[in-house]
């Protein structure tokens, strides 16, 4: 196992020195700093936050995926540069080599994701106005100066850094990342609700960073061979970088005023809906009651003689149709009618200051002329000890609306009672008004959303899903470069990535085929083939994309992350690595291609 | 350390044919090679370009898989990872990671042997001292000259103190000092009982350090045996004595003539490996044997200004070397304890007809000089080897 780690370290060192990676990190930093100002969304603060999150996470995912595929260059460079010849004469098993390379790429991805995650979080807090300038000042300024000084020292110092100094740099970064990782993990597990730990970790890391910077200064002063004018150059450049860093800081600070809340609704939305991780709970469908009613109707029908011609075969179909009818009647709310809807298992903090949300999108048949739905929501069951609230609403129809209600409407046993009253009455003068019937179509037409986790930990889990996808891509790229040349392997890997991340139009197209004769067999065969491909080679990345969930303020559940890790990483990535090891074992590394 | 009886390398009918994309054999690199390398010997693999030397080495190391036949290293197949701990390999070009510096390179390879940090660091320093690159140790390998890179290559081959060392053209790209150092290292390691496989074009170097050689042509073994066996000429008897004066020589001639032997030659009794090599290649070319390497050289093209003629280059070389008179018997016979000083020898070498002797170069820094001629062996020169001693732990 030590050999795997040696190759991992080596791959990490090699990758960090690749210009593409450095360029990527710089690009990401610039993007994170510039995106909030470029993407304003719909002029509300919550919209700005949402659009920033969407853009930054999407760009991050895409760029990192491409770089991950390109990083398989380490394998093909070894093969074409023939360093593999010396490597394979050492006691290094071929599987250790393959796994080590993969792990090195994944480790680099983790580091970049961690850095990007911190920046995204910081910029989100910045936009939301929750991060005061002084804290950004401390973080960004020190980071920029650290990178600037380090780059300059490296470029100008006539003595290259020895392995010891490299180790010191890596140790410092590893310690910072270790603290950050502990924080991330505990956040992902939901132990800590606010990111106090990160700030504590950052506070511990910065003395170490300052120590390193002092050490860096010593490196300027100590070398005897360096003439004075070099010292002056280095000092001047470092000062320039510091001033640049502080200048960016100052600009950020002054531009923060441009991010203001538009109104109370915006603020509520931002604090309680966007920057939260909420779980959606659906209303209980009283299926047994439907069936009971249907059976009663059926029996009545048999008695009445209406179903005399119905034999046993069709009885089930008739019963089902009756059940569907009952369900439809239940879902529809006629004018002046009300419907009682129950929610279960709402585990939240039941204090009146805590806000939960009722999210609904209702269909109205026979549109009211002004396209406004008038209704009253009565939430809370007084008999169970909950506070009752009556909320009259005038909502534009065919849109999703979110209704904030205090959390003490939830009963102590975790149930919530919601009564919907359809108040669309038209007293028409001289015109026949059709009734406006409200239908709760679909099981997500009404949801209760309550906070279960914090935004920070939600972000961590969303990034964990991104990492799962990157691990898969890294394994595939490594597998391909063991047998193919680098350009071909890259193209194949990119194609698989596009297939995985894009919509599965092929599957949908097959659904459109006519359902008769030969087409049925063809469609069935194609479905099986597609299923095979999707399970084995090309996973559906859209299934593991938590960005939209995060942006809507819904919870990226730990179970989702675990499923992603299991399916994508443990199964598919491991399968790919196995194939790569087998292919590599049989490969003649010194082959002369004719 | 007891001598093991398992041969270090044993091949049986080893064949390698390179196939193209459609699996058709295109290049027959090696045919039916039976090779045995015993523990503790220095083995030379010779042949013209393209005769299969590098292919053999790569097959031994598991970098290529044989088309037919078997190869066993330390009794195991070459893909076995455990035997790699006992092998050191110096490839013909230095394939090192350009972005690492010398220390990091050696450290990286040392880690693969699971050496402890302190052991690694110590060996690292000693190796860098041995190859003379301590001062340049912090520069990236990508900035090294070719000779420096080869030296680092040698260092990484020795980092695990291997029992079996494989050197593919070790002296290519090195200046004379480096060449001398490599030869010292090889001799010293051979003295310590390590097995060394050497593949080289520099025949005099091979002649100096090897115990046994094998000569390949076109992927087939043409000759194998100890240097003595191969270079012996058995239609003649050779009597080697200590230095004789003229009168004794005349008496001996008369004695021998009285007994009917003719064509007495009194000279330095040693054949030339170069002669043998050229003879073998010429024979093979006359028989028009298949080879994937360099074939018979044709006439030089007219525009290069050489005289047009039917002579092949090899022919002209053979004739030229045959035309050289044998070494002056008296002046350069077995050196006595009062041998001429090293400078004197060099001057005499320069004045003597052109010869491919390189011993003179080797002998300059020696403290004592022993004859490599009368004993017929080659491992008698002593040099300042304290560093190498420390490095190799003086085990024998």
- A542 touching B (Cβ < 8 Å): no
Reported confidence tier of residue A145, pLDDT bands at 50, 70, 90: low
Write b or e for each residue in A361-377: b if 16 or more Cβ atoms lie within 10 A of its Cβ, otherwise e. bbebeeeeeeeebbbeb
Which chain B residues are Cβ-neighbours of A157 within 8 angstroms?
A: none
| Residues of chain A found within 8 Å of residue B108, distances taken between Cβ atoms | 6, 10
CB nearest to A594's CB, from B26, B84, B140: B26
What would the mean pLDDT of A31-45 be, rounded to a whole number? 81
Q: How many CB atoms lie within 10 A of CB B364?
A: 12
User: Tell me, what's the pLDDT at A462?
Assistant: 92
Closest-CA residue to A59 (of A19, A113, A17): A113
Q: What is the rounded CA–CA span in Å between residue B31 and residue B220?
A: 5
The CA distance from A467 to A184, in Å, is 13
Establish how many alpha carbons lie within 13 A of residue A193's alpha carbon, considering only the half-sphere containing its beta carbon.
Answer: 6
pLDDT in tens, A182-234: 444 444 444 444 556 665 565 455 545 544 554 555 555 444 445 556 555 65
pTM for the full predicted model: 0.73
The whole-number pLDDT of residue B366 equals 38
What backbone torsions phi and psi does residue A445 show, to the nearest 5 degrees? -70, -20
Average pLDDT, chain A: 79
Q: Which run of H or of E encompasses A377?
A: strand A372-379
Nearest CB to A159 within list B21, B82, B138: B138
Residue A138: pLDDT band (50, 70, 90) is low
Contacts of A233 (CB under 8 A, 6+ apart): A156
Residue A299 is predicted with a pLDDT of 86
Neighbours of A583 (CB within 10 A): 15
A1 lies within 8 A of chain B by CB = no
pLDDT at A334: 84
Contacts of A82 in chain B (CB under 8 A): 91, 93, 95
Cβ of A89 within 8 Å of Cβ of B61? The answer is yes
> Could you tell me whether strands B87-90 and B164-168 are parallel, antiparallel, or unpaired per DSSP bridges?
parallel
> Could you say which DSSP state residue B244 is in?
-
Q: Is B148 exposed, middle or buried (0-12, 13-18, 19+ CB in 10 A)?
A: buried
Q: Which of A443-447, A464-468, B358-362 has the lowest mean pLDDT?
A: B358-362
Q: Which of A102-111, A305-314, A558-567 has the lowest mean pLDDT?
A: A305-314
Question: Using CA atoms, how far apart are residues A28 and A63, in angstroms rounded to an integer?
Answer: 9
What distance in Å separates residue A77's CA from the closest CA in chain B? 10
pLDDT 10s digits, A467-507: 999 999 999 999 999 988 899 999 999 988 888 887 667 77
Mean pLDDT of A23-29: 85
Flag the least confident range among A127-136, A341-350, A439-448, B90-99: A127-136
Token pair of B190 as six digits: 């051979």
Q: What is the pLDDT of residues A532-588, one digit of tens each?
A: 777 767 788 888 888 888 888 888 888 888 888 888 888 888 888 888 888 888 888
Q: What is the mean pLDDT of residues A252-274?
A: 80
Greatest CA span in chain A, whole angstroms? 110
Task: Provide, as residue numbers in chain B, all residues whose Cβ is less than 8 Å from the Cβ of A590.
Answer: 58, 63-64
Q: What CA–CA distance (Å, rounded) separates A416 from A407?
A: 10
Lowest pLDDT segment from A231-245, A257-271, A306-320, A461-475: A231-245
Average pLDDT over residues A68-76: 91
Contact A89 B101 (CB under 8 A): no
CB pairs A-B closer than 8 Å: 90
CA distance B132 to B154: 12
Which residues in chain A (86-115) have CB-CB distances under 8 A to chain B?
A: 86-93
- Cβ atoms of residues B209 and B187 within 8 Å: yes
Spell out the domains of chain B, with CATH numbers in brackets: 9-227 (3.40.50.300), 234-268 (no CATH)
What is the pLDDT at residue A71?
92
Residues of chain B predicted below pLDDT 70: 1-4, 233-236, 268-272, 274-275, 290-396
Interface of B with A (CB under 8 A): 18-21, 26-27, 58, 61-65, 79, 81-82, 84-85, 87, 89, 91, 93, 95-97, 99-101, 103-104, 107-109, 111-114, 138-140, 153, 156
> How many Cβ atoms from other residues are within 10 Å of residue A550's Cβ?
24
Min Cα distance B120 → chain A (Å) is 14
Q: Kindly determine whether residue A85 and residue B97, on different chains, have CB atoms separated by under 8 Å.
A: no
A82 touches chain B (CB under 8 A): yes
Residues with Cβ < 8 Å from B230, sequence gap 6 or more? B213, B223, B273, B276
């Amino acid at each position: 196992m030590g050999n795997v780690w040696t190759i991992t370290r080596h791959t990490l060192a090699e990758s960090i020195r690749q210009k593409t990676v450095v360029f990527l990190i710089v690009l990401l930093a610039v993007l994170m700093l510039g995106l909030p100002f470029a993407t304003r969304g719909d002029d509300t603060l919550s919209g700005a936050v949402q659009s920033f999150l969407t853009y930054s996470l999407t760009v991050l995912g895409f760029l990192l995926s491409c770089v991950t595929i390109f990083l398989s260059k380490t394998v093909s460079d070894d093969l074409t540069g023939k360093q593999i010849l010396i490597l394979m004469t050492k006691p290094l098993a071929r599987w250790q080599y393959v796994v080590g390379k993969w792990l090195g790429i994944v480790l680099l991805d983790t580091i970049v994701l961690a850095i990007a995650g911190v920046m995204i979080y910081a910029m989100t807090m910045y936009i939301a106005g929750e991060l005061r300038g002084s804290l950004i000042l401390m973080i960004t300024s020190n980071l920029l100066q650290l990178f600037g000084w380090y780059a300059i020292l490296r470029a100008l110092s006539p003595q290259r850094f020895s392995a010891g100094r490299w180790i010191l740099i890596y140790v410092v970064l590893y310690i910072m990342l270790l603290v950050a990782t502990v924080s991330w993990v505990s956040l992902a597990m939901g132990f800590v609700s606010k990111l106090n730990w990160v700030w504590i970790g950052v506070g511990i890391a910065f003395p170490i960073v300052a120590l390193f910077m002092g050490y860096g200064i010593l490196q300027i002063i100590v070398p005897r061979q360096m003439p004075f004018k070099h010292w002056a150059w280095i000092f001047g450049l470092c000062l320039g970088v510091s001033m640049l860093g502080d200048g960016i800081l100052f600009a950020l600070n002054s531009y923060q005023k441009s991010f203001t809340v538009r109104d109370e609704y915006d603020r509520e939305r931002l604090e309680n809906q966007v920057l939260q991780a909420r779980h959606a709970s659906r209303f209980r469908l009283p299926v047994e009651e439907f069936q009971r009613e249907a059976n009663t109707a059926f029996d009545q029908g048999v008695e009445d003689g209406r179903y005399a011609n119905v034999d046993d075969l069709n009885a089930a179909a008739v019963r089902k149709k009756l059940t569907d009818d009952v369900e439809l009647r239940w879902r529809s709310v006629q004018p002046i009618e009300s419907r009682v809807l129950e929610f279960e298992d709402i585990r939240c903090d039941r204090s009146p200051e805590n806000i939960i949300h009722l999210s609904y999108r209702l269909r109205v048949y026979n549109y009211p002329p002004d396209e406004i739905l008038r209704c009253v929501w009565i939430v809370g069951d007084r008999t169970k000890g909950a506070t009752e609230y009556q909320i009259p609403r005038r909502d534009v129809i065919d849109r999703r609306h979110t209704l904030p209600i205090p959390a003490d409407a939830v009963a102590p046993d975790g149930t919530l009672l919601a009564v919907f009253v359809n108040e669309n009455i038209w007293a028409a003068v001289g015109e026949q008004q059709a009734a406006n019937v409200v239908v709760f179509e679909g099981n997500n037409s009404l949801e209760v959303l309550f906070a279960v986790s914090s935004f920070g930990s939600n972000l961590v889990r969303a990034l964990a899903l991104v990492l799962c996808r990157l691990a898969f891509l890294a394994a595939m790229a490594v597998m391909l470069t063991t047998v193919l040349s680098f350009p071909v392997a890259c193209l194949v890997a990119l194609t698989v990535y596009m297939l995985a991340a894009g919509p599965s139009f092929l599957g949908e197209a097959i659904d459109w085929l006519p359902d008769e004769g030969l087409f049925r067999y063809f469609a069935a065969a194609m479905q099986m083939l597609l299923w095979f491909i999707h399970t084995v080679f090309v996973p559906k990345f859209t299934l593991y994309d938590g960005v939209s969930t995060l942006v809507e303020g819904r919870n990226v559940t730990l179970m989702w992350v675990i499923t992603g890790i299991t399916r994508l990483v443990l199964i598919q990535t491991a399968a790919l690595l196995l194939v790569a090891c087998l292919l590599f074992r049989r490969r003649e590394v010194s082959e002369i291609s004719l | 350390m007891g001598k093991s009886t398992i041969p270090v390398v044993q091949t049986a009918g080893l064949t390698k044919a390179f196939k193209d994309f459609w699996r058709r054999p295109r290049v027959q690199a090696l045919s039916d090679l039976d090779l045995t390398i015993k523990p503790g010997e220095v083995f030379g693999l010779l042949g013209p370009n393209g005769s299969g030397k590098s292919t053999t080495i790569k097959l031994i190391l598991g970098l290529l898989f044989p088309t037919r036949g078997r190869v066993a290293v330390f009794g195991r197949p070459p893909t076995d990872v455990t035997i790699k701990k006992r092998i050191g390999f110096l490839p013909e070009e230095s394939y090192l990671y350009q972005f690492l510096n010398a220390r990091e390179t050696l450290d990286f390879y040392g880690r693969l042997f699971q050496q402890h940090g302190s052991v690694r660091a110590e060996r690292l320093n000693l190796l860098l001292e041995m190859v003379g690159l301590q001062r340049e140790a912090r520069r990236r390998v990508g900035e090294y000259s070719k000779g420096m890179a080869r030296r680092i290559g040698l260092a990484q081959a020795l980092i695990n103190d291997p029992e079996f060392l494989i050197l593919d053209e070790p002296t290519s790209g090195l200046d004379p000092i480096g060449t001398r150092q490599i030869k010292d290292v090889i001799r010293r390691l051979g003295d310590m009982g390590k097995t060394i496989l050497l593949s080289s074009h520099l025949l005099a170097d091979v002649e100096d350090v090897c115990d046994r050689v094998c000569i390949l042509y076109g992927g087939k073994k043409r000759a194998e045996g100890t240097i003595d066996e191969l270079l012996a000429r058995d239609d003649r008897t050779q009597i080697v004595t200590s230095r004789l004066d003229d009168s004794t020589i005349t008496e001996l001639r008369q004695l021998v003539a009285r007994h009917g032997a003719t064509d007495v030659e009194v000279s330095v009794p040693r054949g030339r490996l170069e002669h043998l090599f050229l003879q073998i290649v010429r024979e093979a070319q006359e028989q028009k044997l298949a080879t994937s390497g360099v074939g018979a050289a044709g006439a030089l093209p007219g525009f290069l200004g050489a005289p047009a003629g039917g002579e092949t280059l090899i022919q002209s070389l053979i004739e030229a070397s045959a035309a050289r008179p044998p070494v002056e018997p008296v002046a350069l016979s077995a050196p006595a304890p009062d041998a001429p000083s090293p400078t004197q020898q060099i001057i005499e070498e320069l004045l003597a007809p052109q010869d491919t002797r390189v011993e003179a170069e080797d002998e300059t820094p020696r403290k004592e000089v022993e004859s490599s001629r009368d004993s017929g062996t080659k491992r008698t020169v002593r040099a300042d080897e304290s560093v190498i001693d420390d490095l190799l732990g003086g085990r024998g």
